[in-house]
Structure 1
Amino acid sequence: MAGHPVLLHTAIDARDCRGLAEFYRQLLGLHYREGEEPPTDGSPDDADWLVLLDDDGRRVVTVQQKPDTTPPTWPSEEVPMQMHMDFKVPTVEDLEASRSRAVELGARVLHDRSADDGEPLYVLADPAGHPFCLLVQ
């Protein structure tokens, strides 16, 4: 709609910029913006801002180096969530496959509501500790 801002991407702070970008790249099937791929020539990876794109070239997630970030302690509010993302899948089978894939990539399951008939879901924490949800919708 004209005159309204449009979401460009979700930016996530992380102590390990490349590590968290790799987690979301692999989990969501994204790719790096041209020129931001990991170095392959042995040079140091000094990335402090990485943009991940979908197959149509749209920005989805960016990761920003933030060495002093403290991971959230959800569900405790000792260190509150700074943000979270929800990712939908079409079936319970896809939910289980996505949970397994996320865990293989370094996520932790924080809450299992996969048996809920109304809206099966998992709350997970990415490798930097940011909670995110996988749900059937």
Structure 2
Amino acid sequence: MAFAKLGAVVLDCPDPLALAEFYAAVVGGTPTPADEGWVDLAGHGGTPLAFQEAPGFVPPKWPAPDGSQQFHLDLTVEDMDAAEKQALALGATVLDAADRDRNWRVYADPAGHPFCLCAC
């Protein structure tokens, strides 16, 4: 029997408010500063997201045969090309979108965390 439930996914980053604003534009919600160095993304559907200031933050490398990406977010979208265009306009960068026929593409958010846009 489980004894806990997932409270939030927390992303370390150099600028919590800026990264919360990026994800608010992607998944909806409102960045809500909670404590110094911490911002919650409130009012969107799905698992709660929070952003924590991490001095000396080093983004994960993807792909990296000698290291791990640690985790990534899968974001479902109805129109891959339109979603890609919007994500790039918000500051995302392409990590792997070479195979345009598959149902997912990999990007990095402005702090360097990998995420996938996945066709629903």
Report the TM range for the smaller structure's normalisation: 0.7 to 0.9
The residue aligned with 2:62 is 74
Q: Give the percent of matched residue pairs that are identical in Structure 1 and Structure 2.
A: 34
Structure possessing the higher radius of gyration over alpha carbons: 1
SS at match of 1:74: coil
Q: 1:121 aligns with which of 101, 104, 120?
A: 104
Whole-Å separation in 2 of the counterparts to 1:20 and 1:72: 15
Cα deviation, residue 62, structure 1: 0.2
SS at match of 1:13: strand
Whole-Å separation in 1 of the counterparts to 2:114 and 2:44: 25
Structure 1, unpaired ranges of 5+: 38-45
Whole-Å separation in 1 of the counterparts to 2:14 and 2:20: 11
The residue aligned with 1:51 is 40
Larger proportion of strand:
2
Once superposed, what is the RMSD of the aligned Cα atoms? 2.3
Judged with a 3 Å threshold, the aligned counterparts in structure 2 of structure 1 residues 64 and 77 are, in CA distance, closer, same or farther, namely: farther
- TM-score, structure 1 length as denominator? 0.75
Spell out, residue by residue over 1:51-104, the C-alpha distance to the aligned partner (whole angstroms, 9 max, x if none).
112346x762100000211111101245531321101123xxx11111111111
Contact conserved, 2:105 with 2:118, CA < 8 A, in 1?
yes
Whole-Å separation in 2 of the counterparts to 1:67 and 1:78: 24
Contact conserved, 2:27 with 2:44, CA < 8 A, in 1?
no
Structure 2, unpaired ranges of 5+: none
How many aligned positions are there? 119
The list of structure 1 runs, each at least 4 consecutive aligned residues, that deviate by more than 4 angstroms after superposition, is none
